[in-house]
Each structure stands twice: as structure tokens, then as C-alpha cells.
Amino acid sequence: MKADLKFYFFRYFSYGFIAIEMLLLPIILSKESYGELEWYKSIALLGSYSLFGSFSGYIYYKYTLKKDLYEALFTYGLFSGILVSLICALLFSKFSYLLIIPFFLNALSIIQEKKLQVCNHFILSILFKPILSLVLVICCLYSYYFKQIDISILFIFIYIISYVFWTILSTYFSGEKVLIKLHLNLKSKFFQYCNLIKHGFIINLSTIALSLLLFSYRNLIFENFVSELAGFSLAFNVALFVFLGINTYGYILTIRIGEEIDSINKSALKMYLKNAFLVFILLFFAGLIIIYIYDNFIVSFENIILYYFVITSFVGLYYVFSIISPILLYRNTINQSTLFFVFVLIIDYILNIYLLKLNMSSFQILSKSGSLLLISAFYNLYLIFNKSEIENEN
């Protein structure tokens, strides 16, 4: 129990800088600039998915097969990040060519983060996002008090500074070579990278699909309800801290369920679900208090409380019901879950197009998406309790 609380404390402490960014930027920037900045951040965060789960394959090889394939991960992860960012820039008009830089650097930071993690430098591995938040606040303060700077240019500059500083810091204090020199003989590394994707892609497919779904929420607001983008962004950021608490508990359960997989029963899984729901309720109301104080006494954003309710209720409950989802991986029912979720993602996209033509409100469309998300969560519970060979109470 003490170890669990300690884990919660350090993870939330590291995200304290992100919380400072979350609370200060809406005050420093105009609503339009804040919404635009959050849009750029959401695009950059997609950079990690250009790696196609290879970083999870790297973890698998390191711990299961006792092979360190970091050179292959770094070399072709670098190529993959550049290639996918260029493709996105060509295919999507709203994906500025300048956003290739933070998109690519985000992918590179994930690669380096995994290297630091397997070398037991956990604190250094999680410092990139807090450093990014700190630099964001400092640069936005400078922009506010001295002169106005184009938000996209400012964001790219901030990302470069943060990445370079974190890389130097983590290299110096860890002593690890997180940056690898490229060699001419790349053939063997290519096949190694393909194997990393092979072992990591399916594990991350559900996460990728969920991230794309959450990104589609923001994209929906950005393209069709732009005046509400700032309110949506702040509500989403506060909701992230609710999700963080649930996912932290889920991280602990991933290890615990793995250790108990041969003896775990349905009663224990129901207890884990109950505990996760209690964590969700506590964090939900804590976030609601923050949103209420912010909206009434600091800066008012359009429909922020309603957005918080919609986002946190649906996505938060999805995370609660997914708290025991490691069972799907350990009992080989992950493929069914993943395929169903991808199907849900496709249906959601098609319905969005139809509902926009009917002039439905953003809340009606998001509620539809949230309902589909919960259906996928219920399907996962069905797989866990009925198809994963979990015994009843002993």
C-alpha cells in the first residue's frame, strides 16, 4: 500500500509542472491563441504512433529475450518518425509543414524514454513533459509581456529547446547513449525493427485507436465549433488528471494481475473495478471544483463545465472499465478486443460526418462518441468475464 501511494505521489508530483501550465496558459494567452496552442500540442502527441508500437517490442526483447535492440529502434524509429510526419503534412491541409518538427521530436523522445526506463532511470525518463510545460510557461510569459509571437513558431521553438535540454540532462546524469550514430549497414537493423513492430504493434493498437478517437474529438471542435475550442481544451486538460489517477492505479494492476494471473478470480476483478470507480468519483469531483473555480473566478470559457462533464464521464468510465484489461493480453483475447475497438472507431467517424450534416451540437456528437466508447468497454468486460477462462470465487 505504501509503495502504491509513493508511486501516486511521484507521478503526480512530476505532472505538477504540467498542472501549472494548464492553469496559467489560459490566463496568459487569449482564448484563440490558447485553443490554437492546444491544437498544435495534440498533433505533436500523435508523433509517438509513427513508431507503430516498436518501443513496446523493444521492451519485450529486452526483458523476455534478453536482447537490447536500441540501435535498431533508434535508427529506424528516426526514419519512421520523419516519414510519417511528411506523409501527414502532405495529406492533411491543417497539418503545417512546421509541425513536422514537434511531431518528429515527440516520437524521438518516446524512443529515448524507453531506453532510460530499461536502464532504471525512471525519474529522468518522465522529465521531458514537465520540462516542456515549464518552457511553455516561460516563453508564453515572455511573449505576453514583451511582444506577440506567432503561436506556431513559438510552439516549435519551445519543443526544440525542451527536447535538447532534456536530452543533454538525461545523457549527462544517466551516462547512457540515448542518441545513436547511424551506420551504413542498415539491412540487419531494418529486420530487427520489423520484429520490434511485430511484437509491439498489436499491444499498442487499442491505445493508438483510443488516441485517434480522442484526437478526433479535438479535431471535430477545431473544424466545426472553433469558438468552443478553448473551453474544450481546458476541460480536456483537467480531465486528463482524472484519467491519470485511474491509469496510475491501472499501471499498478498490470503488474499485480500479471503476478496473479494463474490464481485470479472474478471476485478479485470486481473488487479492482469497484476501487477504480471510487478513485474516479473522487477525482471527478476534485476536477469539477477546479473547473468551477476557474470558470467563475479566473477566466470564463464557453461551455467549459458541460465539456468537462461529457469528456470526463464517458472517457473516465471507459478507463475505469478498462482497469482489468491486462487480462485480455494475458489470456489471449486482446485481438478480439482490438478489432472491435477499431470497428467502433470507424463507425464513430462515419456517424460524425452524418450528424454534422444534420447540424447536431458538439455535445450531442461527443455523447454519441462517448456511448460507442462505453460499448467497447462493455465488450471488453464480456471478453474478460466470459471468454478469458477466469474462475469464479474460490
pLDDT at 201 over 70: yes
Residues 215-240 have a mean pLDDT of 86
Answer whether residue 214 is part of any domain. no
The reported pLDDT for the residue numbered 371 is 93
Residue 41: inside a domain: yes
Contacts by 333-336 with C-beta closer than 8 Å and gap 24+? 333/383, 333/384, 333/387, 333/388, 334/202, 334/203, 334/206, 335/202, 336/383, 336/387
Out of 198, 215, 233, a domain closes at 198
Q: Using alpha carbons only, what angle is made at residue 349 by residues 343 and 353, rounded to the nearest 5 degrees?
A: 145
Mark whether 249 and 194 lie in a shared domain: no
Verify that 46 and 155 share a domain, yes or no: yes
pTM tops 0.85: no
Final residue before a domain boundary, out of 198, 214, 248: 198
Q: Please, what is the angle between helix 304-321 and helix 229-260, to 10°?
A: 10
pLDDT digits (tens, 9 = 90+) for 121-135: 877 887 898 899 889
Model confidence over 258-270: pLDDT tens digits? 667 777 788 888 8
Q: Is residue 210 part of a domain?
A: no
Residues 156, 48 share a domain: yes
- Asked if residue 205 is part of any domain, the answer here is no
pLDDT in tens, 285-333: 999 999 998 888 888 888 899 999 999 999 999 999 988 887 877 777 7
Give me 343's grid cell: 470497428
In-domain check, residue 215: no
The three three-digit cell numbers of residue 30, written as one number? 487569449
What does the alpha-carbon distance between residue 350 and residue 369 come to, in Å, rounded to a whole number? 11
Q: Cβ distance 110 to 168 under 8 Å?
A: no
- Interhelix angle 31-45/16-28, nearest 10 degrees: 140
The number of folded domains in the chain is 2
pLDDT band, very low/low/confident/very high, at 3 (cuts 50, 70, 90): very low
184 and 270 both lie in a single domain: no
Residues 375 and 268 in one domain: yes
**53 and 109 fall within a common domain:** yes
Q: Which domain holds residue 251?
A: 225-394
Whether residue 8 is contained in a domain is answered as no
Q: Does residue 72 contact residue 128 with C-beta atoms inside 8 Å?
A: no
Residue 10 lies in a domain: no
- Do 187 and 310 reside in the same domain of the chain? no
- Regarding whether 36 and 108 lie in a shared domain, the answer is yes
CA distance 339 to 336: 5
The answer as to whether 218 is a domain residue is no
- Same domain for 262 and 368, yes or no, is yes
Task: Tell whether 186 and 258 lie within a shared domain.
Answer: no
